[in-house]
Structure 1
Amino acid sequence: MSEALKADICIIGGGSAGLSVAAGAAQMGARTVLIEAHRMGGDCLNTGCVPSKSLLAAAKVAHTARSGHRYGLTPHDAQIDFATTTRYVHSVIQTIAPHDSVERFTGLGCRVITSRASFIDHRTIAAGDVTIRARRFVIATGSSPSIPRIPGLDSVPYFTNETIFENTVLPSHLIVIGAGPIGCELAQAHGRLGAAVTLIDAGRMLSKDDPEAVEVIRKQFAAENISTFEAAAITRIEKTGEGITVILQHEGRENAIRGSHLLIATGRQVTIDGLGLDKAGVEATPKGINVDARLRTTNKRVFAAGDVIGGRQFTHVAGYHAGIVLRNALFRLPAKNAPKALPWVTYTDPELAQVGLAEAAAREIHGDQVRVLRADFAHNDRAQAEGHTDGFLKVVIGKRGRILGATVVGAHAGELLLPWILAISKDHKIGDVASLIVPYPTLSEISKRAAGSYFTPALFSARTRRLVRFLGLFG
């Protein structure tokens, strides 16, 4: 027999956005229904952030073992048991999984339904043999890998981020199509674990990041023998014996890249098929569900959050969206999706982190009012002590010392970005960072050094020297 439920809020999707909304709503007393057809935790826990960073951590240990000569250690060619590495990755997922589990959310007071969901009218959803009529709905169904149309691709086996972490055999030669964050991270991880790697992209590597910062990553990849083909046109893919051959045009020449395995990392597409959006009066395009500034869809009872609305598809953005939805859906507060400081990090080694405007974008908007401050890791004593001197911090400044953006490429760049996120969020001026007392020796000193350079021209100018000499006349 079918069951009919009534709820204050019904969420479709148990990924980052959906879980955050469900946990908040249930703990604040709302009758909450959460629907997830696949795995709780969504892409981030199962096939994205958690497994990729775990694999990168294992790869970094292997790389460190091979490069100890600079510290007086005999380099050791680490013997990789890739099946054990894969088990480590899954052990991390399993450790975190209880936090996202059906049991935890049931304990919080949610009704969790494990089934596919589809709207049957503006206020009702069907999920398995259950119908849910709710005051508010949240669509948080996320995204999935976007597969390019390449002749021959459908005739060869390939991985995406949804399947590669199930692989227990180290590829002898992994070909990665797509040099965005996912492609770059997994290319470097597999290379450090012992695979030959070729990275291919139709454009440039990490195209949404500062080109000067990307060049640091590019040089590191070259040093690690990761073959990179940028601005390459793939003409076809062929199955050859036990492997795969990718035929491409690059710099006026045809190249045939032969590998054992193929990874497709060419971006994401929103997951909206089968939701019955038309029956709910919810408008969408292939780029995502249409929402207003309050994350309401064209049906004002229905909100959408996370990857499914397109734009910057990050776990932390999904969490931010969840807060906006809760304020609007439960408290009727007109909270808007207008982040002042949106950060993102690519977790290669070295890392590349960005918040606010990059230099080129800032100059397009603010013209000659822009000033760029810079500090290199090579001039940081902690970086020298640890032997990680590649990279820099670049801060973009506008009128009257206003901080417009920051880019960090180097060791622990993601951790070093926090003061700049705070500064932009709270409209701090560059002097607020320059006046901080920062412990020595830390990598964080790079932020103070860059901020202090804003005042250097005036502080050590001829005018200042004249003033000091004048004041000296009075004893």
Structure 2
Amino acid sequence: MKRGLLILLIFGLIVGFFVLDLGHYLTLESLKHWQQDFITLKAQSPWLVTGGFFIAYVVSTALSLPGAVILTLAAGALFGLGVGVLLASFASSFGATLAFLASRFVLRDAVQQRFGDKLKAINEGFARDGALYLFTLRLVPVFPFFLINLLLGLTPMKTRTFYWVSQVGMLAGTLVFVNAGTQLAALQSLSGILSPPLLLSFVLLGVFPMIAKKFTAWLQRRVYAKWQRPARFDRNLIVIGGGAAGLVSAYIAAAVKAKVTLIETHKMGGDCLNYGCVPSKALIKSAKLASQIRHGEHYGLNAGAPEFSFRKVMARVHKVISEVAPHDSAERYTSLGVEVLQGYARITDPWTVEIKLNDGTTQTLTTRSIVIATGARPFVPPLPGLEEVGYVTSDTLWSTFAELDAAPKRLVVLGGGPIGCELAQSFARLGSNVTQVEMAPRIMIREDLEVSELARASLSADGVEVLTDHKAVRCEKEGERKYIVVEHEGQSRRIEFDVLICAVGRSARLKGFGLEELGIPVQRTVTTNDYLETLYPNIYAAGDVAGPYQFTHTAAHQAWYAAVNALFGDFKRFKVDYSVIPWATFIEPEVARVGLNEQEAREQGVAYEVTKYGIDDLDRAIADGTANGFVKVLTVSGKDKILGVTIVGEHAGDLLAEFVLAMKHGLGLNKILGTIHTYPTMAEANKYAAGEWKRNHAPQRILAWLERYHAWKRG
């Protein structure tokens, strides 16, 4: 309603301007003709004329009416250089900002909704360098200012930024035209104001910000000034860390025949192979089978207590690690052309890495570029008494538990994120009495509320006591008995345990690699730009040490950008793309997601529409006894464009891949609906979710006419 009224008002004022032929007053001849009359009127009522002129200028600019040049000349002719510049400068900036806001209010939502994907790069550019772009445009009067006002209103630029940049950027042009207005009698035409030399000056002014930006980039490279660059290099690339990011970086370098050295301190394959993804999934599989035996009646079998050796379960975990290990081994990467060194690496200058090898010797190598891929380690909270009672982490539990004959009788899992949930459910299924402690109001806090509630119900059904909104205060030891004290709503509770697992997150490995000595900024991670460059453009960071995600697949994703930019950045650099990032939590039922969920869409103010399909209706899920969960798709309102997908259910992580592909390549739900899915498979859930969307958007009016048509055909 308000938008419609504003459109009518603007349209009416513009039409009135042309119908009443007010434009004939905004010519050079008219200004000369009425100049003396206005000067006389100004002498009689100075404030009235000044205020009226200011308002007329603001309205003219806000409505994008022709005549801004004449009004600027009039400011000089009527008020002189000083007052004229003051009036014209503020009036033009106020009017331009009103036009900017009107364009934003009337057009931006519709334009962004319709062309958002095509405007993404422009939006990102203006969010980053919008002030510089606008300043450049304002300095060059060749660009129509009214068009700049309207187009900038469609971008994400902040209003205050638009105003002050316009105020400063238009000042030079305003000064020229107001000064010309003070010499109105000698002025024969508007073309006489902007002579070729003056236009060239404006163009040079416009180019100046770009030159300044390049100069700033050159200054940034002056960080190398205190270092002596080698005349030649031993390597094209040195990679520090043999986890996912390091392995992929080294692989890419070797594949394009660069001379590359990979340095790993401990175990090749990093956290994922040795402590995270691989061992946890092996454990989850064993725990799941134990649960299925325990609930055999669900499959028409006799239920029974699973008989197993916990030591053998853990032995299988280590066997799985050993079977996967050759994929990430030093031997394999050596065969691919990568030099693999076992030792501790420290960067001593931007091109030099010192390696203390595990055999006790030291080697120093120079390199054109470096990729820091040192990963992360479990974060251990500063909990009083924790060291006294002892604890394990997701890194150390595999070796510690390998020596146990039975799962810990009483187990406390500290943390309600994905790692904590996976471990809590698995060990509960393997016989531990598990208490999970989470200080947030719910577990898996990054997921939608209904997902968190479903996950909690699933863990509780397996015997996990889930304590949310409980803050761990301290640990205590009385003889051989160990306790953790938690607080909830002002009340304390002591929980006895045999083993405590800390699973409250992971922190980047930043110490000991020479970053401090080089002055490379670090916070929770290494600070990088969009190209994964650190303070030194030839030193990159990728994986957990760079953030913002701590997934193996994002580490590998970043590694491509780091390696390619490091090796070929002189020709072309690539900004890392985080637009479509999937992840999964491997509890039962699995939780997998890509893009936005509902809580994130609300937080970001993104308009969306929800389509949900219940997996309890899926034939294959019913046959498998896994009819639990859903596929939830967020789309642009009224369109099939996918904003995000959450899947809860059996093999959710596998089912998600279809939506990841669709989002990456701009395919909507109609394309998924039109794709044949094998029957009976879990993948049909994706098609049925698309079908739900189609059903909700069926053209009811056309269907009503079709019903009449078929009735008529029947006679």
Shorter chain as denominator, the TM-score bin is over 0.9
1:366 deviates by: 4.8
Cα root mean square deviation, aligned = 1.6
Match of 1:273 among 511, 515, 531: 511
Per the alignment, residue 67 of structure 1 pairs with 295
SS at match of 2:693: coil
Query: 1:142 aligned to 2:375?
Result: yes
Question: What amino acid does structure 2 have at the position aligned with 1:414?
Answer: G
| Structure 1 range deviating more: 194-203 or 209-218 | 209-218
Distance 1:318 1:458 in 2: 39
Distance 1:366 1:433 in 2: 27
Per the alignment, residue 18 of structure 1 pairs with 246
Distance 2:583 2:632 in 1: 15
- Number of residue pairs aligned between Structure 1 and Structure 2: 470
Per the alignment, residue 526 of structure 2 pairs with 289
Distance 2:386 2:655 in 1: 40
Per the alignment, residue 613 of structure 2 pairs with 375
Question: What amino acid does structure 2 have at the position aligned with 1:184?
Answer: C
- Choose between structure 1 and 2: higher strand proportion: 1
Counterparts of 1:168-183 in structure 2, within 5 Å, are 168=402, 169=404, 170-183=407-420
Query: 1:114 aligned to 2:347?
Result: no
Match of 1:408 among 632, 647, 651: 647
Structure 2 unpaired stretches of 5+? 1-231, 357-361
Counterparts of 1:195-344 in structure 2, within 5 Å, are 195-203=432-440, 204-285=442-523, 287-332=524-569, 333-344=572-583
Greater RCO, 1 or 2 (C-alpha within 8 Å, sep 6+): 1
* 8 A Cα contact 1:9 1:135, kept in partner: yes
* 8 A Cα contact 2:371 2:563, kept in partner: no
Deviations 1:189-214 (A, max 9, x none): 11111111000011121111122112
Q: Please, what TM-score do these two structures have when normalized by structure 2?
A: 0.64
Match of 1:392 among 630, 643, 653: 630
1:295 deviates by: 0.6
* 8 A Cα contact 2:420 2:503, kept in partner: yes
Question: What amino acid does structure 2 have at the position aligned with 1:421?
Answer: V
Distance 2:629 2:318 in 1: 32
Residue identity (%): 38
1:463 deviates by: 4.8
Distance 1:20 1:208 in 2: 28
Per the alignment, residue 324 of structure 2 pairs with 96
State the structure with more CA Rg: 2
Distance 1:415 1:95 in 2: 22
Question: What amino acid does structure 2 have at the position aligned with 1:100?
Answer: D
Per the alignment, residue 426 of structure 1 pairs with 665
Q: Please, what TM-score do these two structures have when normalized by structure 1?
A: 0.96
Per the alignment, residue 591 of structure 2 pairs with 352
Query: 1:123 aligned to 2:351?
Result: yes
Distance 2:326 2:627 in 1: 39
SS at match of 1:289: coil
1:363 deviates by: 3.3
SS at match of 2:250: helix
Query: 1:152 aligned to 2:385?
Result: yes
Question: What amino acid does structure 2 have at the position aligned with 1:144?
Answer: R
In 2 relative to 1, CA 471–366 (structure 1 residues): closer, same or farther, beyond 3 Å? farther
In 2 relative to 1, CA 80–5 (structure 1 residues): closer, same or farther, beyond 3 Å? farther
* 8 A Cα contact 1:12 1:117, kept in partner: yes
In 2 relative to 1, CA 330–339 (structure 1 residues): closer, same or farther, beyond 3 Å? same
SS at match of 2:392: coil
1:233 deviates by: 1.3
* 8 A Cα contact 1:244 1:262, kept in partner: no
